[in-house]
Amino acid sequence: MSFDDWALAVHVLSAFAYVGGVVLFWALVVAVRREDTPEGTIRMEPIVKVGNAAVGIGAVGTLVLGIWLAFSVGSYAIWDFWIIAALVLWAVSAALGQRTGAAYMQGMNKAKELEKAGQAGPSSELLVLNRTSSGVVLHSLVSVAALLLLLDMIFKPWA
């Protein structure tokens, strides 16, 4: 395998890590909708960290190695439409992902606040934060952006 073959393999593995993280967050989005206790909400934190690691590694790996491949592979150029589209979709997805995280962290922060205050029982306020509709919409948009990225990478429009 040449260096470019390795770069492509790690680029694709990074894409799998990114989408894997997005799928993991869907499982958490569904699960957290029933959580109204601080303990149950806080217990999701280690799983959130796994998702954050997967999305972070995936986002950096796809971008860095994708740009490398755009310059290294003779038949591709950085200004090709499908590569520019991928960069735009990557940026949109990253920005939306950050906003999704912020929406769901409101519930996590509230849970920690309640736990600190010694309120271990169910909280309707926490349930409302955990059922954030803006969070669901934002994560749906992240998923659509990821799907468009995959379509763009495979169909390579106007390549």
Partner 1 sequence: MTVLAAIRPDSWNFPLFLHVLGAMILVGGLLAGASSLGFARGDVRFLRLGYWSLLAVSLPGWVLMRAGGEWIASKEGWTKKGVPSPTWLDIGFLLADVGGLILLLSLVAGGFGVYRLRAGKGAGLLQVTLVLSVVLLGAYLVAVWAMAGKPA
From the CB of 16, what's the least distance to partner 1, in Å?
A: 5
- Is residue 75 close enough to count as binding partner 1 by CB under 8 A? yes
Q: Evaluate whether 47 touches 35 at the Cβ level (below 8 Å).
A: no
- Is residue 8 close enough to count as binding partner 1 by CB under 8 A? yes
User: Which residues within the stretch 108-147 sit at the binding site for partner 1 (CB under 8 A)?
Assistant: 147
Q: Evaluate whether 120 touches 39 at the Cβ level (below 8 Å).
A: yes
CA gap 47, 148 in Å, rounded: 26
Q: Evaluate whether 156 touches 82 at the Cβ level (below 8 Å).
A: yes
Among 92, 52, 27, 66, residue whose Cα is nearest residue 153: 66
From the CB of 113, what's the least distance to partner 1, in Å?
A: 22
Among 105, 122, 125, 155, binds partner 1 (CB under 8 A): 155
E strand or H helix that includes residue 121: none
For residue 40, with 0-12 CB atoms within 10 Å meaning exposed, 13-18 middle and 19 or more buried, which class applies? middle
93 Cβ neighbours under 8 A, 6+ residues apart: 59, 142, 145, 146, 149
- Is residue 23 close enough to count as binding partner 1 by CB under 8 A? yes
Q: Which span sits near partner 1 by CB under 8 A: 66-74, 87-95, 100-108, 126-134?
A: 66-74
- Is residue 24 close enough to count as binding partner 1 by CB under 8 A? yes
From the CB of 54, what's the least distance to partner 1, in Å?
A: 6
- Is residue 54 close enough to count as binding partner 1 by CB under 8 A? yes
Among 117, 121, 124, 154, binds partner 1 (CB under 8 A): 154
Catalog residues that contact partner 1 under the rule CB under 8 A: 1-2, 4-6, 8-9, 11-13, 15-16, 19-24, 26-28, 31, 40, 43, 46-47, 50-51, 54, 72-76, 147, 150-151, 154-155
